[in-house]
Structure 1
Amino acid sequence: MSSVSIGIIGAGRIGRLHAEQLSRNPAVRVAAVSDVRLTGELRDWANSLGIPRVTADYRELLDDPDIAAVLICSSTDTHAAIIVEGAARGKHMFCEKPVSFDYRETAKALEAVRRAGVILQTGFNRRFDRHFMRVRRWIDEGAVGEPHLIRITSRDPAPPSPEYIRVSGGLFMDMAIHDFDMARYLAGSEVAEVYAQGAVLVDPVIGELGDIDTAITTLRFESGALGVIDNSRRAVYGYDQRIEVFGSKGSASAGNDYPNNAELSTASAVSRDLPKYFFLERYAEAYADETRRFIECVRDGAKPPVDGNDALQAERIAHAAKLSLLERRPVALDEVR
């Protein structure tokens, strides 16, 4: 079976992670990578992976007839335009979240994808986490009955730099958007209403930049179920990622991932290692699995498991959460069209 030739747009942290993982996949040929910062170090890195071409212009990848698909890992403000251009050139695309900071721009990009008939998968990697997938399987099998309450805890080990905060789109769009998608994934229902509260409790600089670092968001789903998401930019003990679905027949949950399961019990304490510290460590397998699935969809012409509509709905929830925070009221998703 011939390999799928791909290009990677954006060689930052995520772009490099995907390139390194895909370079080990025999079903893939990473033909080129583009990044606006064309440095000698980037060329050396690409050469170490056997990537034959490096360019500063992503359009060279879109114009290459031998490249079947691209991974869009550039800055968020470029995603929607690249999707429109890629669709016009018949490229299948994997795009990191969010597709854009404005859900209306995302909707326009998705229309271009629909007209072109190409594949678009979005980068909600947590859906591919084996622990969270197990919870979803239990829900699908009816083990917890009808979901009533969904609880999600998502806390980073340390806040990002002020430079990142300035361009991140804010906590709801940058960080909690993963949790909004996970809430939909677990509930099997769209969100009907959002109510968010936030505060600056970690770093006053974040507040000076117009953002928050701590939040609680409550959700009401169209199914009638309720959801609660708590976010913080700093958990001193590590990367805190937990979910629970409580239903009419029981409860299913998944806790943090640890370096090992060893535990020491003495007369004074029971102790174990702290959770894995960073998202690249915590979700390493999930990142590999999501791109592996994308390649399979390109090869087989299958529908991606996480598509553009999933990105659009998560962005609508994020927008509603920001509006709720600013106006101090519940916001119906019907207001965000």
Structure 2
Amino acid sequence: MIELAVFGAGRIGQVHALNAAAHPSVRLKYIVDPVASEHRDHLAIQTHAVLCEPEVVFADPDVTGVIIASSTDTHAKLLLRAARAGKAVFCEKPVSLDFSTVVDVTSKVEKSGIACLLGFQRRYDPDFRLIRERIVSGQAGRLEHIVMHTRDPSPPPRVYVERSGGMFRDQAIHDFDMARYLLGEEIAIVYAAGNSLIDPEIKAAGDIDTAMITLTSVSGRFVQMINCRRAPFGYDQRLEALCSNEVLYVENRPQRGVMIADANGFHSSTPMSYFIERFADAYRAEMHAFVDMIDNGSKPLAGIRDGLEAQRLAEAAIVSMKTGSPVRISHDWHP
């Protein structure tokens, strides 16, 4: 039985804690969250985990892995403590809002030799994985360009925006990662434009709510990203991959698969309400991958190096938006 601990009992921490507790090979031993709340206490009861301080987790030799789903400002320190303690890590993105810290932590974690999975759950979604498989196998032909749409159902509160690191590091980082994952190569040029068109509170917080980003890969292929903090119909997550033999689509998943037709036309269900619902299967698969990584040494689909490279693109997008010019990047580029 693999014993794990979860840091963070918030929205994504609850998802990971419940998935870990439901895994037949896992005992969720500890939950660490300094903020006392009913949902934290209820989560501990649901999962039969003990609420404790971080020191207890890292001193317990029976805990072989930790899940870092706490606030972003805690990720770097917890990753380094896990590396020193020799414990495997499943960490939510990003590693830090400071890019120099991301570079430093990535280097130290890799040198420590611990297994590390980074939380880019779309890589574990069956739809995105099928597209990747058809591209890698050659069945779809050569991938030529990608178009991605990511729109939240409604803007987040200002207090969240002020701690998120901005739209590129918080929301668009998943699209940056998927671009690298599907292309199978790095990005050479980032060109981004952004503005606050929807929510004056986001603008007052110094962030944007609408962006368009164009990426050019090292071989000259293109990615167009459309990101927004609002979609009037719900969570909007779509992808189109143009290949030489096929065009591959990931569409929004409806809440129900039934279409109703009457004299007024055809009516279908609204999309799933938000990313936690939309990617529920992916989050479960991600937890299974973490357990396999610990148990069998399986390589994760996304490691800490992928987190660094996705954030490199986010940082370049910020620079591009501020300067109004494309940013050329390389393997050692930093803002």
Helix, strand or coil for the counterpart of 2:150?
Answer: strand
How far residue 40 of structure 1 moved from its aligned partner, in angstroms, is 5.8
Match among 62, 67, 83 for residue 66 of structure 1: 62
Structure 2: runs of 5 or more not aligned: none
How far residue 179 of structure 1 moved from its aligned partner, in angstroms, is 0.6
Cα distance in structure 2, aligned partners of 1:246 and 1:114: 35
Matches within 5 A, 1:53-202: 53-55=50-52, 57-202=53-198
**More displaced, 209-218 or 95-104?**
95-104
Match among 18, 22, 25 for residue 24 of structure 1: 22
Cα distance in structure 2, aligned partners of 1:46 and 1:329: 49
**More displaced, 105-114 or 230-239?**
105-114
How far residue 39 of structure 1 moved from its aligned partner, in angstroms, is 4.3
**Partner of residue 333, structure 2:** 336
How far residue 97 of structure 1 moved from its aligned partner, in angstroms, is 0.7
Helix, strand or coil for the counterpart of 1:143?
Answer: coil
Cα distance in structure 1, aligned partners of 2:39 and 2:154: 27
Give me the CA root mean square deviation: 1.3
Whether the 8 Å CA contact 1:324–1:330 is kept in 2: the answer is yes
Is 1:5 the counterpart of 2:3? The answer is yes
**More displaced, 327-336 or 10-19?**
327-336
**Partner of residue 273, structure 2:** 277
Deviation per CA, 1:275-318: give whole Å up to 9, x if none. Answer: 11111111111111101101111111222221011100000000
Structure 1: runs of 5 or more not aligned: none
Helix, strand or coil for the counterpart of 2:202?
Answer: helix
**More displaced, 190-199 or 134-143?**
134-143
How far residue 267 of structure 1 moved from its aligned partner, in angstroms, is 4.2
Helix, strand or coil for the counterpart of 2:308?
Answer: helix
Helix, strand or coil for the counterpart of 2:299?
Answer: coil
Matched-pair identity in %: 38
Cα distance in structure 2, aligned partners of 1:310 and 1:171: 19
How far residue 115 of structure 1 moved from its aligned partner, in angstroms, is 2.1
How far residue 48 of structure 1 moved from its aligned partner, in angstroms, is 2.6
Helix, strand or coil for the counterpart of 2:94?
Answer: coil
Whether the 8 Å CA contact 2:123–2:301 is kept in 1: the answer is no
**Partner of residue 32, structure 2:** 34
**Partner of residue 43, structure 1:** 41
Whether the 8 Å CA contact 1:5–1:68 is kept in 2: the answer is yes
Whether the 8 Å CA contact 2:9–2:43 is kept in 1: the answer is no
Deviation per CA, 1:117-160: give whole Å up to 9, x if none. Answer: 11010000011111111111111121221111111001000111
Helix, strand or coil for the counterpart of 2:30?
Answer: strand
Helix, strand or coil for the counterpart of 2:146?
Answer: strand
**Partner of residue 261, structure 1:** 257
How far residue 246 of structure 1 moved from its aligned partner, in angstroms, is 0.5
Cα distance in structure 1, aligned partners of 2:34 and 2:7: 9
Whichever residue aligns with residue 312 of structure 1, its letter is L
Match among 183, 203, 206 for residue 207 of structure 1: 203
Whether the 8 Å CA contact 1:181–1:310 is kept in 2: the answer is yes
Whether the 8 Å CA contact 1:88–1:112 is kept in 2: the answer is no
How high is the TM-score relative to the length of structure 2?
Answer: 0.96
Number of aligned pairs? Answer: 333
Cα distance in structure 2, aligned partners of 1:249 and 1:40: 53
